[in-house]
Amino acid sequence: MDPIIITTSILSLIAGVGVFLIACTMMSSNLESLGSRRMKALFAKTSNSKLLGVGVGTVATVVIQSSSATSVMVIGFVNAGIMSLAQAATVIFGANIGTTITGQLVALGFSGGSAISTSVIFATLAGIGAFITTFAKKDVWKKIGGILAGFGMIFVGLSLMSNSMKAFAEQESVRNFLALFENPLLLVLIGAILTAVIQSSSVMTSMAITMVVTGLISLNQGVYITMGSNIGTCVTALIAGITSGRNAKRTALIHLIFNTCGVLIFMLLGVFLSIGNINYGFIFESMFPGAPQMQLAMFHTIFNVATVIIVLPLTNLLVKLVTKIVPDKKLEAVEQGPRSYYVDEHMLATPTVAVQQVKNEVMNMAEIAMENLRISFDIISTLDYADIEKFRKNEDELNFLNRELVAFIAKLMRCELGDKDRNYLTTAIRSVSDLERIGDYAENIVEYADKLKSAEMAFSNLAIKEVYDLRSLIERLYEKVMKAYKDRDLVALDGANEIEDRVDNFTAEMNKNHIVRLGRGDCTPEVGAQYLSLSANVERIADHLINVAKTVKE
């Protein structure tokens, strides 16, 4: 055994794995950024249809080239309460199918009998993509260049791994050592552990294909290592689930049970085949003779598709099982406190989807602020405090979202994002601040009501009518602002600006009317002070609402 050859081969293998991992990350982030709108539309379409969920999971994983990222993202959706366990399960099933694409690409790289190998041809895309990324001015072309560079680098890494493993395969002592690992259970364990360390089943499967092609291991060994990679890939989701809510833990458990069941089924089938002196290696060598790369890649695809077909009808039973394993607690006091409804730390794994969830959270925050404003209008008009507890809970929620959403956006802005998404996040921070201020002004209005009630005073009927007319204008303004914000509707923005001008004019008219009533003795200076403060606060609320709408121009 030549120590120099062995050392060089080990270093080349490490370099190959490193290049492969970086290539997958590069291709994944750029594909995700370029297909962000489609990704958002995909997850918006998840419904109770099991096949649709599988399709969404498959396509999403093909787009972002990572079943772990898809699973973590799904855990975030479940934790935020916007996806049911059954929906999450089917998306995870689909993710397992989508992750087989990388193996097929690697097999394609080893195909072809021409003088110039397919792998070398694909590897040239790394250089082409690098040139496009360097010289392109438009963001979309930079993303396309990044995708091509990442795709090409996959085959550069593959070539490094292949060359190092060929050197290993030439060492008889290495071949004899690896030949000792024939026990299927041990091979599955090795595949699971290595995948857990690398944090990528795609890389592990690609390494297994390379080892089979170079003759370092047999096809049957590669089959069981590939099975183990399906269990090892659950580690990322389990870590995400442990640090999240109860339903997120259940989702991670579904991922683990699903993948483990698939491995158990195929291992039992392997035992049955061994009775007739047949194994998976023999079957797939017969199906795809002379193409070891295709043999293992096709096993990986058939294995994952077959597992989905078997388990999909049992989805509801699987959901019931994990619900029993992780039961609901009798006291849910902790979960009833302030929380984010749409964003979750685990969504940082898919930044472009997280940006859309930030937008949803901002709109949710706007509705909470408006609900408190409505309650404050009712309280000061009627001096009825029936909804005061709801008001206080909403205020706590607004304060919580103000802190947490800004912190989440700050983390999200450190991720790989396109210019449009980054610009939006910059405006979102200001919008969050504007909405929190609306909540503060609603608090002020309740305080004015407190002063009226403690002094045993109230607004006159004419003043109350004006308050309700002002409220009606604010409701119309809010409707236009949300339409402009949600749909980037500039026509709605023009309508919002027009209503905001009317609010300014109306509050000025309210001040004049108050002076007239004060002169007639219809109200007192004490009551008038609260009335004028209310008018001034609502005018500022209109300003904050219009600030939110104006961000669509940026």
pLDDT at position 332 is 44
pLDDT at position 241 is 67
3-state secondary structure 225-263: HHHHHHHHCHHHHHHHHHCCCHHHHHHHHHHHHHHHHHH
Q: What structural domains does the chain harbor?
A: 3-325 (no CATH), 345-553 (1.20.58.220)
- Measured at the CA of 14, the angle between CA 11 and CA 20, to 5 degrees, comes to 140
Q: Which of 400, 380, 521 is nearest to 457 (CA)?
A: 380
pLDDT at position 115 is 46
Radius of gyration for the alpha carbons in the chain, expressed in angstroms and rounded: 30
CA of 126: how far to CAs of 63, 190, 502, in Å?
19, 32, 58
247 residue type, one letter: N
pLDDT at position 552 is 86
Residue 278 zone, left/alpha/beta (φ > 0; ψ -120 to 50; rest):
beta
Place of tokens 């300014």: 504
pLDDT at position 334 is 43
Residues 6 or more apart from 135 whose CB is under 8 A from it?
none
Cα–Cα distance, 6 to 483 (Å, whole number): 65
Cα–Cα distance, 165 to 169 (Å, whole number): 6
Place of tokens 């590939």: 226
Residues 6 or more apart from 249 whose CB is under 8 A from it?
241, 242, 326
Cβ–Cβ < 8 Å for 171, 215: no
- 417: which DSSP letter? -
pLDDT at position 329 is 63
What is the widest separation between alpha-carbon atoms in the chain? 108
339, burial (CB in 10 Å: exposed 0-12, middle 13-18, buried 19+): middle
Which H helix or E strand runs over 314?
none
Cα–Cα distance, 174 to 331 (Å, whole number): 58
For the chain, the helix, strand and coil percentages under 3-state DSSP, each to the nearest 5: 80, 0, 20
CA of 473: how far to CAs of 331, 461, 482, 490, 531, in Å?
42, 19, 14, 20, 17
Report yes or no on whether pTM surpasses 0.75. Answer: no
Cβ–Cβ < 8 Å for 312, 50: yes
- 326: which DSSP letter? S
pLDDT < 50 stretches in the chain: 114-115, 330-335
